[in-house]
Structure 1
Amino acid sequence: MTHRFRRLRRTGALRALVSETRLSAADFIWPLFITDVPGADVEVPSMPGVRRLSVDGAVRAAEEAARLGIPAVCLFPYTDPALKTEACKEAWNPGNLTNRAIRAIKAAVPEVAVMTDVALDPYNANGHDGLVKDGVILNDETVEALVRMALAQAESGADILGPSDMMDGRIGAIRMALETAGHKDVAILSYAAKYASAFYGPFRDAVGASGALKGDKKTYQMDPANRAEALRLVGRDLDEGADMVMVKPGMPYLDICREVKDAFGAPTFAYQVSGEYAMLKGAIGNGWVKEEVILESLLAFRRAGCDGILTYFAPAAARMLAGG
């Protein structure tokens, strides 16, 4: 035989020479759940190994990220239920939990990029990402609220804004507001193709949204059956000023990741969401799969064209890659 593909698989050195895809800690954004509710800074039952953190705890996590070579963290607040209203005004309060955490992290670890979530669900008594009237999620009124929220986060020192709400026109409105207010260097990582997925359940536990949602999010998040729509949404968000785009969830949508990267060539990210984490963590904990499945799952994102991954496995994966 002239073509023996096993020749280049024979040793670790040969395999390393011809490996097509690389994975490193620099590819990760580490999502952090934060809280200032007394007693809420505990492990999330549906996400073993993931805790809600105080602001001080988030600072320590950012310091750990710096030591591990993880370039960015992303903040998601567990908000005091007493602050949740239908008007969502806490979302753009300069002194809210997220904005205080941004300032604390940037003061302590300025080299770590801080990404935020731009959506109203952590502050909404209805549990929705947008304002609600008579059971309808309002688009344009929500966009106005999101702009106020984004500006408050930018003024607090956020490096990357992550609009995850899926309202139409919000990227253009936020970009224009940032430019006008002098925040020209703040990047937008748009949740451009965010599907109405059943994989988000543990996340809603983590942020205290389980049971609060009235109805579902199918009128604004994408139908899991749709592929071409994702490309149209990504194209629109890039045209409106997004610097980076995201596909969410991750592993069930690797085909979308690849198509987005091939079609646009823009920085493309995916979110290995809470349900994906919980399934893998549960299987590892029960001895059904080996821990190395973590790196294999993350490598799949890179092979599919992703420039980076939001993953709760970020610190564990970084240690594994470093041989720790």
Structure 2
Amino acid sequence: MFPIHRPRRLRTHSQLRRMVRETVLTTNDLIYPLFAVPGEGIAKEVKSMPGVYQLSVDKIVEEAKEVYDLGIPAIILFGIPADKDVDATGAWHDCGMIQKAATAVKSAVPDLIVIADTCLCEYTNHGHCGYLQVGDLSGRVLNDPTLELLKKTAVSQAKAGADIIAPSGMMDGFVQAIRSGLDEAGFQDIPILSYAAKYASAYYGPFRDAAESAPQFGDRRTYQMDPGNAREAIKEIELDVAEGADMLMVKPALAYMDIIWRVKEASNLPVAAYNVSGEYAMVKAAALNGWIDEQRVVMETLTSFKRAGADLILTYHAKDAARWLS
């Protein structure tokens, strides 16, 4: 006899499929990355990321208004300074690009959440995420001296109006250092979204074009995680939780959905997934060549991040996704 259970019964109508859908993507899940550069009236497209631009602060404000009108609740800011140095001055200076952009956006769109990427690689003249040992060309960052720079950067970003601090340098103890710095400066209510499990990934290539942050020598494998490690991600997130992280991030997302799942299972904090530049660029390239249906692939991919356990998704597809969702 044929089995009495016929799962296809619940797939016969679009409304019925909608009613029983287990995972639902909404605009509330989305965070849109923006890249701030010096100048005025600047909107320079990133060649490896069609549709993504380096923007002057006035253009950042225009984008922020559009993002808010689309119902996206938050942006994350990255800065590209005019000058770089060993002290990453542009990261923590009151006139840094993230500081200027955060202040301008909060003035123009006060209800939009502004997340500040708190890292140093865009601002150092060697492209690494902190202080290096003099003469060391391996890219091994001096951990503890760099914590002081990160603390100073986070406080400066909070003073400029950032609603959330998102440290991404993968320094040991960076959450505790930043938490203590924020608290001492009177920013006890500013949450930390930690890049808790950030892998040394080849998927970051186009981002380094956008943020002009490629290392001048060596690589970042001495501080970002090895792609083969999963248990280590749980160790990293447990340390960050103990140090005071309010939210956790897994980066990249597409090739690390097992990590998103593990982190979600191991923590009761909100989990963010960063749909990174290489993931975006692959979809865009295939779509421009007519090889895939961009809308369906993007929406399926973003939904899969939620299904894996992500509560928040940082994605360059955010504006398109918001339009498609509406």
Which TM-score tier does this pair reach, normalised by the shorter chain?
A: over 0.9
TM-score (norm 2): 0.96
- Equivalent residue of 1:242, what SS? coil
Q: Is the 8 A contact 1:120 1:131 kept in 2?
A: no
Tell whether the 8 Å contact from 1:79 to 1:207 is kept in structure 2 after alignment: no
For 1:125, the equivalent position in structure 2 comes to: 125
Counterpart of 2:64 in structure 1 is 62
Question: Percent same amino acid at aligned positions?
Answer: 50
Q: How many Å separate the matches in 1 of 2:108 and 2:33?
A: 18
- The more displaced of 89-98 and 5-14 is 89-98
Q: Does 1:14 align with 2:16?
A: yes
- Any idea what the Cα deviations from partners look like across 1:219-278, whole Å, max 9, x if unmatched? 000000000000010011011011000000011000000011011121000100000000
| Equivalent runs, 1:1-324 vs 2, <5 Å | 1-37=3-39, 41-80=43-82, 83-133=83-133, 134-135=135-136, 136-210=140-214, 212-291=215-294, 292-322=296-326
**1:120: Cα distance to partner?**
0.8
Report runs of 4+ in structure 1 exceeding 6 Å deviation: none
AA aligned to 1:174 is: I
Amino acid at match of 2:253: G
Report the residue type matching 1:105 in the other structure: V
User: 1:127/1:138 Cα in 2 relative to 1: closer, same or farther (>3 Å)?
Assistant: same
Contact 1:79 1:208 in 2 (8 A): no
Query: Partners of 1:223 and 1:249 in 2: how far apart?
Result: 12
Measure, in 2, the Cα distance between the counterparts of 1:307 and 1:2. 37
Distance 1:40 1:216, change over 3 A: farther
Question: Tell me, what secondary structure is at the counterpart of 1:121?
Answer: coil
Distance 1:79 1:249 in 2: 25
SS at match of 1:123: coil
CA contact 1:25–1:69 (8 Å) conserved in 2: yes
8 A Cα contact 2:88 2:124, kept in partner: yes
Equivalent residues, number: 319
Match for 2:320: what amino acid? A
**8 A contact 2:40–2:58 mirrored in 1:** no
Task: Return the alpha-carbon distance in structure 2 between the equivalents of residues 30 and 67 of structure 1.
Answer: 13
Structure 1 gap segments, 5+ residues each: none
* Structure 2 Cα separation of the partners of residues 79 and 13 of structure 1: 50
Q: 1:57, 1:236 → 2: CA distance?
A: 38
Provide the rounded CA distance (Å) in 1 between the counterparts of 2:191 and 2:117.
13
Q: Distance in 2 between matches of 1:17 and 1:110?
A: 35
Supply the RMSD in Å over aligned alpha carbons.
1.2
Render the CA deviation track for 1:253-304: whole Å, top value 9, x for unaligned. 0000001101112100010000000001111111111021110010000000
Deviation, 1:41, is 3.1
What is the rounded CA distance, in whole Å, between the counterparts of 2:88 and 2:191 in structure 1? 24
Post-superposition shift, 1:192? 0.3
What is the CA-CA distance between 1:184 and the residue it aligns to?
Answer: 1.1
Mapped partners of 1:27, 1:201: distance in 2: 25
**Code of the aligned partner of 2:182:** L
